[in-house]
Chains A and B, each alone.
Chain A
Amino acid sequence: MEKSEAVASVPLQPDLVKDRVSTSFKRKSKRNTRFISGLILPIVVVILWQTVSSLGWVTKIVLPSPLAIILAAKELILSGVLFTNLKISLVRAVFGFIIGGGLGLALGSFVGLSSRSEKLLDPSLQMLRTIPHLAISPLFILWFGIGEESKVLLIALGAFFPLYVNTFLGIRRVDAKLFAVSQVLEFSKFKQLKLLIIPAALPNILLGLRLSLGAAWLSLVVAELMGSTAGIGYMMLDARQFSNTDIVFVGIIIFAIVGKLTDSLVKWIEKHSLKWQDTYKG
């Protein structure tokens, strides 16, 4: 309110405020319609699926009905099995992500800030990057067995490269023109980092974070399905052995939900920390 009043006294820019108000209205209604139109397809699919199952066109071992899956989920929740396993999976993912992502962020910053360390480290790291990290999993199992270490390390490896590459890229994308400004204004090294390099690199770092979380999650699924004695992946393996396809579906859905939630969290951080960005929004 304060802003728009003050603006009115500046004769040069009367339509700027009007613009801002009307776009915020538009944006809100646009978001609602997008949400609703995004729901149409899934609802239709679920209805069709339930019909096909109820009519008995497919056996429940191949494709249990949505209702059966919900009942299975309910049972798993009530017995506590779901949460025990979910907790174990989450702990693995978080540990692996912190180790791999943290290392990626640290090394990416290091290599980005000094061209000497770039020459020393980047060629080797880029070479390792070309190996699909899941291809290393047999090796990890040979070295560390199917215990926690091999799982956490596989997740860490998956989380490392997206953050490493994007942090490095982000730092190198700092505009040389703004760098000249920081020299003219005599920024200290610390202020240069805080006011110039980190904010300029942030869009890339957050992208790296999202990709890293995705990779960590994928690695978790693979690691657990390769063999484990607890976790959501184990729950699914176990269910498969007894042809409890509904529980397999519950596992898939849990993986999807947690993956989506973490992705939304980063998106939310992006939206709030990058509101200065002026980009095409469709």
Chain B
Amino acid sequence: MEIKVEIKEKAFMKDQKSVQVLDDIHLTFNSGDFITVIGPSGCGKSTLLKIIAGLDVDYEGSVVIGSNEVKKPSIDKGFIFQEHRLFPWLTVEQNIAANLPLKKPELREQVNQLINIVRLNGFEKAYPKELSGGMSQRVAIARALLREPKVLLLDEPFGALDAFTRQHLQDVLIDIWLETKTTMILVTHDVDESVYLGTKVVVMKSKPGKVGHVIPIELPFPRQRTDQTFQEVRNHVLKHFEQLDQYSAVEG
């Protein structure tokens, strides 16, 4: 699904004053892209993602996915939030199925497969309070994947996790992407992560949020963090990132 983002302006009201958060953002993503978005805290990454998801429609401009303009959230635009946002009163498998009937054999089968993929076997009947942060986030991922979205939007999904779990989930995500070719848009503040996952890195700057650079990453998958070429690309992105950060720090 091709995605066309045209945001002229997005502002929030703060103490009866309008504060501009996003300014003149034009982005086009191809079907099957793995887009990563990095930028300093508060530059409007989450706001951008919510607009693409249709969770926020109060802005000037338009978002078109395929041939449809985004007006509201829907299951073909999967969203994984910064916090896992599981329903505490539902077990792991009920959370994954949520509003879909777990009693149906086909669905049951799909849920079991996903539990396998995110390695949660044995925890099907556990409640969220019994899970660690990483496990909860894996449930949230399985919940989004079950709907087979055309676009998957992820807002710093691994931010709260330890390095080991994070790397595991990054690899899980790459496997899923390679297999399904779902268009992914992932927000992160970790340059390393953006280069490890992305086919294109969008570098944002703040006050107001703008697109600084769009850097294509041409490294083949699976990528090796320790590779020299990986390090070079990473440093290249980091340089752009720091440069923009400096400018915005001066301007602000």
Contact = CB atoms under 8 A, between A and B. Distances in A.
A187 interface: yes
Contacts of B98: 185, 187, 191, 195
A177 B83 contact: yes
Contact of A181 (B74, B81, B119): B81
Nearest to B129: A278
B8 interface: no
A180 interface: yes
Contacts of B78: 184
B89 A199 contact: yes
A119 interface: no
Contact of A184 (B75, B83, B127, B135): B75
A184 B77 contact: yes
B122 A191 contact: no
B224 interface: no
Interface in B61-115: 72-75, 77-79, 81, 83, 85, 87-90, 98-99
Interface in B114-144: 119, 121-123, 125-130, 132, 134-135, 143
A195 B90 contact: yes
Contacts of A10: 119, 121-122
Contacts of A39: none
B135 A177 contact: no
Given A184-B79, A195-B99, A3 B89 contact: no
A200 B73 CA distance: 22
A276 B88 contact: yes
Contacts of A9: 121-122
Question: Is the interface on chain B under 10, 10 to 19, 20 to 34, or 35 or more residues?
Answer: 20 to 34
Question: Is the interface on chain A under 10, 10 to 19, 20 to 34, or 35 or more residues?
Answer: 20 to 34
Contacts of A195: 87, 90, 98-99
B99 A6 contact: no
B122 A276 contact: no
B122 A7 contact: yes
A16 B126 CA distance: 11
A2 B125 CA distance: 11
B81 A3 contact: no
Given A7-B122, A276-B127, A186 B74 contact: yes
Interface of A: 2-7, 9-10, 12-13, 16, 20, 177-178, 180-181, 183-188, 191, 195-196, 199-200, 202, 275-278
Interface of B: 53, 55, 72-75, 77-79, 81, 83, 85, 87-90, 98-99, 119, 121-123, 125-130, 132, 134-135, 143, 147, 165
Given A178-B87, A200-B89, 5 more contacts: A12-B165, A180-B81, A185-B75, A276-B127, A276-B129
